[in-house]
Amino acid sequence: MSNDYTRRDFIRAVGAGAAAAATPAILSGCASEPAAPAKPVGRVIVIGAGYGGATCAKYLRMWSERRIEVFLIERNAQFVSCPLSNLVLGGSRTIESLTIGYEKLREYGVQVIRDEVTEVLVERKRVRLKRIEDLPYDRLVVAPGIDFMYDLVPGLNNPEAQKVVLHAWKAGPETVELRKQLESMRDGGVYILAMPKAPYRCPPGPYERVCQVAHYFKQVKPKSKVILLDGNEDIVSKKGLFMAAWNDLYKGIIEYRPNQEAKDVDVKAMTVKTEFDSFKGDVLNVVPPHGAGLIARQAKLVTTNNRWCAVNWQTCESAAVPGIYVLGDATLSAAAMPKSASMGNNHAKIAASAIVATMTGGPLNPAPTINNTCYSYVSDREAIHVDSVHRWMPDKKTLEPVPGSGGVSAQRSELEKQYADAWARNIWSDSLG
Amino acid sequence: MRARLLAAALVLAAAPLAATAQTPYPHTGRDLAASCGICHGTNGYNAGGMPNLAGQSKEALAGHLRDFRDGKRPATLMHQIAKGLTDEQIEAVSAYWAAQKLK
């Protein structure tokens, strides 16, 4: 632990003590004033305030009873949810309704810092930042999400091309811009979504996205077409439910083309090239292959296929660097584990439980059990789900789906749409305060 | 063969000892409730659109979970999740929610 941390914390502790002494007894039960913190046990820095990082910061504070100092470093001013962002393309949600500030995390004593980590100095247990000076840590949590491998789609490997052909696979400005492209497209035009081979972020996301774009076309531009070029040999998630929605709701609008991995894009000709074919569209939406966010790469946490970070799933501690924990989409997924918001949020809780145990001298959870629930909106009115329960298997030393558990919707329904909305409200509240 | 049987008998005999020697993990309920938080809110406090689990009776919560698991209570999803929980986990998570104060 650095001197600077100890000194500052000493001053803070003295300050809190003095304030408590000066507080009249009548106010001592006031719920809005947190009690003077117990003896601090060290500092955790969390890189990235998405579903994984934000949740981990909050639960570290809760479960350590504020004894662990938590710095949460995030380069964006606000959180924008990827789940539900396809509804912005469909027209039934605004991006504002998916945008949430970080202020409530401060009520837990999380120190949210708007900055960007440029380097992890693993040997010295410090992070280097863009705006402020280096910060030391006792434990580090890396939750950077994904970065795209544009070199695998050469025509997109420059900033100008990326302004024309969007991924919109990170919710935010690109989501809004893609919606504008769809709005300005002529009736009778063609929208093409190209998806890489699994594993990618949000397995059902592409199939939901084409539902939402087709929903918009059906209302406003009925002569238009949607083509999904899937790098996979078949629909990756909720196959029967998506096929039923396409047949019942969007017949003649959606064309599904499996085994069509985008190898290149010609931005001038507006074509996507696959191994043997070329597809021309009016709006191209190409999601390149992706891997762990760049800072994970810099910190040498990437272990597998030059893309993902292997972890010990009992704790989410990196398999490459002790004392560093990796969460969310950046991880090398365990068996049948999707790269989803629900999983990122739950990785965070595995890590928080393990970090608090390690830093306070308590026992580790011998059998972490987490669940995944992912809803997809097939229109503005109906939704479907997939869920699973994953338990630590001590003999195999990994998380695995519990046999007999999990499943998908019996059918799409308006009731499931209500539950999907409720899932969103609850996970936002759980992750962000 | 006899040696193998003897070894197996020794392992069986030692198993209960090993189990009692270990202190049970104190946060099974807390950690499981956290996992359910994605739909049911932190510590079971509903943030909108779901039943509140915090502060409900342990017997009712555990009974609902067992009924979901055993197919006695209709559901869109909970029957699939509840099948992933052991009896001990159902007891622990229900006790944790029941111990939360009603807001």
Note the pLDDT tens digit of each residue in B63-97.
999 999 999 999 999 999 999 999 999 999 999 99
Q: Is residue B103 domain-resident?
A: no
A419:B77 CB<8 A:
yes
Least CA distance to A408: which residue of chain B?
B77
B81:A418 CB<8 A:
no
Cα of A357 to nearest chain B Cα, Å: 10
Where in the sequence is the domain holding B40, given as residue range(s)?
25-98
pTM here? 0.90
For chain B, how many structural domains are there in total?
A: 1
Chain B residues with beta carbon closer than 8 angstroms to that of A313:
none
Q: Are A85 and A75 in contact (CB under 8 A)?
A: no
Torsion of CA A354, A356, A358, A364, to 10 degrees: -40
Structure-token pair, residue A433: 């305060």
Q: How many CB pairs under 8 A join A and B?
A: 117
Based on the fold, state whether residues A323 and A350 are members of the same structural domain: yes
CATH number at residue B78: 1.10.760.10
DSSP β-bridge partners for residue A169: none
Based on the fold, state whether residues A305 and A272 are members of the same structural domain: no
pLDDT for res B23: 77
Chain A residues with beta carbon closer than 8 angstroms to that of B25:
363-367
Where in the sequence is the domain holding A215, given as residue range(s)?
152-288
- Please state the ipTM of this predicted complex: 0.90
For chain A, how many structural domains are there in total?
A: 2
pLDDT class for B103, splitting at 50, 70, 90? Answer: confident
Cα of A365 to nearest chain B Cα, Å: 6
State the average pLDDT for chain B: 86
pLDDT at B10 over 80: no
Of A337, A364, A391, which closes a domain? A364
Q: Is residue B60 domain-resident?
A: yes
Q: Are A70 and A111 in contact (CB under 8 A)?
A: yes
> Concatenated DSSP letters for A61-111?
HHHTTT-EEEEEEESSSSEE-STTTHHHHHTSS-SGGGEE-SHHHHTTT-E
Based on the fold, state whether residues A314 and A357 are members of the same structural domain: yes
pLDDT at A291 over 80: yes
DSSP β-bridge partners for residue A254: A226
Q: Are A302 and A310 in contact (CB under 8 A)?
A: no
Torsion of CA A319, A324, A329, A335, to 10 degrees: 30
B23:A363 CB<8 A:
yes
Based on the fold, state whether residues A359 and A330 are members of the same structural domain: yes
CA of A182: how far to CAs of A95, A272, A286, B44, B53, in Å?
A: 15, 17, 14, 40, 42
Task: Give the number of other CB atoms < 10 A from CB of residue A157.
Answer: 16
Q: Is residue A375 domain-resident?
A: no
CATH number at residue A93: 3.50.50.60
A405:B83 CB<8 A:
yes
Of A240, A262, A288, which closes a domain? A288
A409:B76 CB<8 A:
yes
Residue A378 to residue A46: CA distance in whole angstroms: 35
Task: Give the number of other CB atoms < 10 A from CB of residue A131.
Answer: 9
pLDDT of A43-95, one tens digit each?
999 999 999 999 999 999 999 999 999 999 999 999 999 999 999 999 999 99
Question: CA nearest A254: which of A211, A297, A223, A289?
Answer: A211
Residue A58 to residue A428: CA distance in whole angstroms: 12
A425:B40 CB<8 A:
no
Cα of B5 to nearest chain A Cα, Å: 22
Q: Would you list which residues of chain B are within 8 Å, Cβ to Cβ, of chain A?
A: 23, 25-28, 30-32, 34-42, 46-50, 76-77, 80-85, 89
Based on the fold, state whether residues A58 and A163 are members of the same structural domain: no
Chain B residues with beta carbon closer than 8 angstroms to that of A407:
80
Chain A residues with beta carbon closer than 8 angstroms to that of B42:
58, 62, 429-430
pLDDT at A311 over 80: yes
Using CB atoms, which residue from B25, B32, B76 is nearest to A415?
A: B76
Question: Which ranges of A222-381 would DSSP assign to H, the alpha helix?
Answer: 239-249, 294-298, 341-360
Cα of A184 to nearest chain B Cα, Å: 36
Q: Is residue B20 domain-resident?
A: no
Q: Are A430 and A402 in contact (CB under 8 A)?
A: no
Based on the fold, state whether residues A227 and A105 are members of the same structural domain: no
Of A332, A364, A396, which closes a domain? A364
